[in-house]
Structure 1
Amino acid sequence: MLVLKDRELKETRNLYSAVKDMLALQPSPEIQLSMREKQVSDLRLELERVQQELACVKQNYFDMKRALDKDEERRLRVAASPPAAAL
């Protein structure tokens, strides 16, 4: 009986020691918070950069669309007008 209790106690101590060692490897809550704040800051900067890039791409798209629309309108006007030699 005493041998079993001693074995259980030894096993419990070993488990406690293993858990304690694992927890010692984990960063403290303050460090984790600091890391998360840095990550959020980095992600916000990335989001801002991507939004600016999107705005630039949109602007280029609409500039090209306006140019194509003007070109199409010019072609339609030329095609609709009577030829000068026929008059």
Structure 2
Amino acid sequence: MVAALRPGGWLLVEDADTELQPLTCLDEVGPAQRRANRLRRAVRELMTRRGADLRYGRTLPRALRAAGLVDVTAAGCFPVDGWLATG
């Protein structure tokens, strides 16, 4: 991607850092929330076993700088969703 940039060009990369938000439901108030969290844990475990770096999102700016990019900035958010809060 870096080689494809023209001088002064922009590169936008989005990636998750699922290590920072290990749960889908922060408040396990019922069986639906517990199932959602079990599923999330299982998916994260599978991704890890297959070689995914669940912390890649936080290391990406450093990797882009190491590749020679300048003016690298990063923004993050930690969404807390209540979509399963009511069961």
Which structure exhibits the higher relative contact order, with contacts defined as CA atoms closer than 8 Å and separated by 6 or more residues? Answer: 2
More helix by share: 1
- TM-score, length basis structure 1: 0.27
Question: Larger Rg: 1 or 2?
Answer: 1
User: TM-score, normalized by length of structure 2?
Assistant: 0.27
